[in-house]
Structure 1
């Protein structure tokens, strides 16, 4: 995967040696591919990762990958390998004959903030692995030696078709990779951050945390 990325960007006219302005390509397509590849070193992936993190930097917090903004092309061929299909779907720029699960037009259509092609294939499990935790927690011991606490945690995730969801969660759901760590003795403690985790196409784990 990491060896294929430079070739993909070259095919797009985005040479990693002589980089055209990053605004010349849809950044969410780059996030999609670079996330799948574990954020390999390139100017395009560095920019994509910066946008990915910026979106979870308060305020407001946005879904870090907005796959519905990537102008995908729908082309599926059973003989293609999984990642070759991903490249084809996300990045093929020229018109191609459509052999899709649904007879989709070439241009992306927004359907409740999800792409207008089927991404339920396991190829795209790395999209569904992304989770975002908004953490606001504090505790202290009062004058009567009681323990006062406050917590407000939200979890963001992606559905089968890449649609973004946000729901109320709990401190216990925060992944251990986060810096969030409640003292056992009810000591004075405050933690506010946004934590995002993901797995790339090969299943390797990654995470980032923004404190505020």
Structure 2
């Protein structure tokens, strides 16, 4: 995990490890945008830690219907940080400033930060900045994420002659070069082998009714992992 933190996202690594002595103790565990934690923890194969456990729980929650959301929302993790040093007094300020967006809006994240710092201080700390380029191969783990939403799959015998009726609606969510997420039509046959529940699809005509969301990915080192939520 260490080589990933230092090579990929040094400012995020600092934010996940520096709590900052000036922040209120109850809020310290939630000073980072959750998508920054998801990005780091997923790249490292979800190492055992409290931030990574929270990140994985949010990752799974987002694919738990309804609605189905992109499990990683990389656009909610600003990484192209810049700041004016004379406005920042300590490491806590630096970590906070590096992880939050501008445009005078509240941080785009799932963890509450209302009590961390007053809104006027947020406006004073945050300067305009551009997100970093994630088109390089070191971020292939982001583009490896696939979200299969099996919205409806039914197979049954119908009519006096026992005709087999099959209906299925499957969509696939994927990530683009810069982490943009989009949906497209897919099919039962495109589901990964790890998916469970439709193994007998197309074999004779056993009765099947199935709905699920299946997400799989490969971490920075190429290790395969997946999650499935049935509903």
Paired residues, number: 179
How far apart are 1:182 and its partner, in Å? 4.0
CA distance in 2, matches of 1:159, 1:133: 16
Gaps of 5+ in 2: 6-12, 83-93, 99-125
Question: In the alignment, what sits opposite 2:143?
Answer: 128
Aligned residue among 69, 73, 76 for 1:69 = 76
Please say if residues 182 and 189 of structure 1, whose CA atoms lie closer than 8 Å, have aligned partners that are also in contact: no
CA distance in 1, matches of 2:55, 2:144: 18
CA distance in 2, matches of 1:182, 1:140: 15
Matched, 1:170 2:170: no
How far apart are 1:38 and its partner, in Å? 0.5
Matched, 1:199 2:215: no
Please say if residues 131 and 155 of structure 1, whose CA atoms lie closer than 8 Å, have aligned partners that are also in contact: yes
Matched, 1:185 2:204: yes
Question: In the alignment, what sits opposite 2:134?
Answer: 119
TM-score (norm 2): 0.69
- For 1:124-170, what per-residue CA distance to the aligned partner results, in whole angstroms no more than 9, with x for missing partners? 00000000000121100113210001100000000011000111111
Please say if residues 39 and 45 of structure 1, whose CA atoms lie closer than 8 Å, have aligned partners that are also in contact: yes
Larger radius of gyration: 2
Question: In the alignment, what sits opposite 2:111?
Answer: none
How far apart are 1:19 and its partner, in Å? 8.0
Distance 1:107 1:129, change over 3 A: farther
Aligned residue among 40, 54, 66 for 1:59 = 66
Gaps of 5+ in 1: 76-90, 96-104, 110-115
CA distance in 1, matches of 2:33, 2:164: 49
CA distance in 2, matches of 1:108, 1:157: 26
Superposition pairs for residues 131-146 of structure 1, below 5 Å?
A: 131-135=146-150, 136-142=152-158, 143-146=160-163
Give the structure with the higher percent helix.
2
Please say if residues 148 and 173 of structure 2, whose CA atoms lie closer than 8 Å, have aligned partners that are also in contact: yes
RMSD over aligned CA atoms reads 2.8
CA distance in 2, matches of 1:42, 1:162: 25
Distance 1:197 1:146, change over 3 A: same
Matched, 1:13 2:13: no
Please say if residues 19 and 28 of structure 2, whose CA atoms lie closer than 8 Å, have aligned partners that are also in contact: no
Aligned residue among 153, 169, 181 for 2:170 = 153
- For 1:37-86, what per-residue CA distance to the aligned partner results, in whole angstroms no more than 9, with x for missing partners? 000111100000000010011011110000000021269xxxxxxxxxxx
TM-score (norm 1): 0.75
Distance 1:19 1:130, change over 3 A: farther
